[in-house]
Homo-oligomer: A and B are copies of this chain.
Amino acid sequence: MAGLTDIRNELAELLKALGHPDRVRLVEELNGSEKDVQTLSDTLGVRQARVSQHLAVLRASNVVEDRRDGRHVLYRLAKPTLAAWIILGGATLVDARPELGEDLNTPDEIRLVLEEESEEKDEKNRKKQ
């Protein structure tokens, strides 16, 4: 099936697709439950068309899948572990806490720690519609 090189190329594609703040955010929002475009648009404070564009990128890279429900289209993560992986990266790689990488190896643990520490500081950072 897939040799190492193939996996690497596909992984690079995946990483590139995720390499945008809005799209990282989308993955976070889709963690756990599927959501429709309007909800995502409202939550992120990003126009609907732009959200659809982002979702198209994520769909092309197999990050998300969608299903239609009436007029709405619901998006979900194609791989349930993706969000945890992303958040793990954020906690251990960006936020300079290698100690988390050592001891907290399950996604849930990482997520909890991250949220506890940074949630309230983020109140003011909402974009405007």
Contact = CB atoms under 8 A, between A and B. Distances in A.
A98 B7 CA distance: 15
Contacts of A21: 5, 8-9, 12
A118 B19 contact: no
A53 to B, nearest CB: 16
Contact of A81 (B12, B14, B98): B98
Contacts of A86: 11
Contact of A3 (B3, B5, B118): B118
Closest A-B pairs by Cβ, 4 of them: A16-B19, A105-B105, A81-B101, A5-B125
Given A4-B121, A15-B16, A16-B19, 16 more contacts: A2-B94, A2-B121, A3-B122, A4-B118, A7-B90, A7-B114, A8-B28, A8-B90, A12-B19, A15-B89, A16-B16, A17-B19, A79-B93, A81-B92, A81-B93, A85-B93
30 contacts: A2-B95, A2-B118, A3-B118, A3-B121, A4-B121, A4-B125, A5-B21, A7-B90, A7-B94, A7-B95, A7-B114, A8-B21, A8-B24, A8-B90, A9-B21, A11-B93, A12-B23, A12-B24, A13-B19, A14-B89, A15-B19, A15-B24, A16-B16, A17-B19, A79-B92, A79-B101, A81-B92, A84-B101, A85-B93, A85-B101
